[in-house]
Amino acid sequence: MIPFSREGNLVTARLEPGETAVLAALAGQLIELLDERAAESPTDVLLAQLGIGGASAPPLDPALARLLPDAYRDDSEASSEHRQLTELGLVDRKIANARAVVATLNGGMLVVLDPPAAQSWLRHLTDLRLVLAARLQIEGDGDAGSGDDRMLDLYDWLGYLQGTLVECLE
């Protein structure tokens, strides 16, 4: 892998074929996770078209709960109301970011990102790391995480990749 670097308005990276395959698979899993959540929402078609009518309770899955947190810390009623109005929109945008990332992987090993694609990558890499951290039980600063070594390596690799992307956008 050659990490992200900037060329004018674009940022580019060169990934190994195995790395693009992993990113595509992870994006697919994230989309599935979010799709399932959206499908559970007790909504009607009209409200869904407006992006509202989402679930009223936070997800039970800790990974999803971290992707879709409560907006109020000590007010479950206000959180619930806010969630119904905003969660479906948030889910849609996270899915759109995942799809935008997958679209940039279609060109093979060279990844070329224009500014909107770079923004999708930033957010999507964050979402992937939040999900992996929940699975690895990384809950506080300094937690090394427990679980599959390959998953830990993946978590670190995604962090490295994201770090180089952030540097390009500084």
Partner 1 sequence: MSRTLETPLDSPLDTLQQLADQPWVTIVWNDPVNLMTYVSYVFRSYFGHSAEEAQRLMLVVHNEGRAVVASGGREEMERHVEAMHDFGLWATLSKESS
Q: Which is nearer to partner 1, 50 or 110 (CB)?
A: 50
- Distance (Å, rounded) from C-alpha 58 to C-alpha 64? 8
In DSSP notation, 28-83 reads HHHHHHHHHHHHHS---HHHHHTT----SS--SSHHHHHHS--S-SS-HHHHHHHH
- Distance (Å, rounded) from C-alpha 69 to C-alpha 80? 11
Tokens, residue 54: 């989402």
Continuous segment of H or E residues that includes residue 96: helix 76-104
Closest separation between CB of residue 12 and partner 1, Å? 19
Q: Which is nearer to partner 1, 100 or 130 (CB)?
A: 130
Continuous segment of H or E residues that includes residue 17: helix 17-40
Give Cβ neighbours of residue 108 (< 8 Å, ≥ 6 apart). 20
Q: Which is nearer to partner 1, 69 or 109 (CB)?
A: 69
Q: Which is nearer to partner 1, 17 or 170 (CB)?
A: 170
Closest separation between CB of residue 52 and partner 1, Å? 12
Q: Which is nearer to partner 1, 48 or 109 (CB)?
A: 48
Closest separation between CB of residue 73 and partner 1, Å? 5
Closest separation between CB of residue 108 and partner 1, Å? 27
Closest separation between CB of residue 90 and partner 1, Å? 6
Contact 166, 122 (CB under 8 A): yes
Q: Which residues bind partner 1 (CB under 8 A)?
A: 66-75, 82, 86, 89-90, 93-94, 122-123, 126-127, 129-130, 133, 138-143, 159, 162-163, 166-167, 169-170
